[in-house]
Amino acid sequence: MTLLSPAVFLDRDGVLNEPVMRDRRPYAQLDPEALSVIEGVGPLLAELKALGFLLIVVTNQPDVARGTVTREAVERIHERLRRELPALDAVFACFHDDEDGCTCRKPRPGLLLDAARSFGVDLGRSFLVGDRWRDVDAGRAAGCTTVFVDHGWDERGPRTPPDVRVASAVEGLETVRRLQEARRA
């Protein structure tokens, strides 16, 4: 019998890197050269890796379907993110828009379920850290403990209550670390 691993599923923009802000609303970073990793995230990811977590990015990138960026440009952003955050194990991205009706676009749990199958993840021992309602709903649907990074942006909140609400990505990752250490005690 193979023992399944816990994972931390991480949204990209607003959790790992700074989003592009327009009119108090966050948008995906589309320029690999402008990518800015959130200060303090890298060392915390390394700590989570040392606790035995797989670290998997799950990100909606609908700008590809909308024609405002190419898939290759998004992949270059992911390559840069993996270079700057070497603790990351994988990036799973949905390139569809809502109208496509796919199963991988959050709030559906398809990205998390695909990653769990690919990496042998125990979803019940895993966490989702995200900053949008779609992240929380996807994490909840997959059976993960959800950590909502509430930046106070001018947009709707999660449909389902998160397990934990925090004010920053760093606080979210620290919360996962504390919860995991408490589980082990």
* DSSP result, 114-151: HHHHHHTB-GGG-EEEESSHHHHHHHHHHT-EEEEE--
pLDDT in tens, the chain (185 residues): 467 999 999 999 999 999 998 887 888 999 999 999 999 999 999 999 999 999 999 999 999 999 999 999 999 999 999 999 999 999 999 999 999 999 999 999 999 999 999 999 999 999 999 999 999 999 999 999 999 999 988 788 888 899 999 999 999 999 999 999 888 87
Q: What is the pLDDT of residue 156?
A: 83
| 13 in catalytic set | yes
Q: What is the pLDDT of residue 158?
A: 83
Helical ranges in the chain per DSSP H: 41-50, 63-66, 71-84, 110-119, 133-142, 169-184
Query: Catalytic residue among 13, 63, 135, 137, which?
Result: 13
pTM: 0.96
152 closest CA partner among 129, 132, 125, 171: 132
Q: What is the pLDDT of residue 25?
A: 84
Q: What is the pLDDT of residue 2?
A: 61
Max alpha carbon distance in the chain (Å)?
52
| Identity at 118, one-letter amino acid code | S
Q: Are strands 20-22 and 25-27 parallel, antiparallel or unpaired?
A: antiparallel
Q: Residues 62, 105: contact at Cβ < 8 Å?
A: yes
| 98 in catalytic set | no
Query: Catalytic residue among 11, 63, 131, 135, which?
Result: 11
The domain covering 7-184 belongs, at the CATH homologous superfamily level, to HAD superfamily/HAD-like (3.40.50.1000)
Q: In the chain, helix, strand, coil percent, each to 5?
A: 40, 20, 40
d(CA 148, CA 180): 17
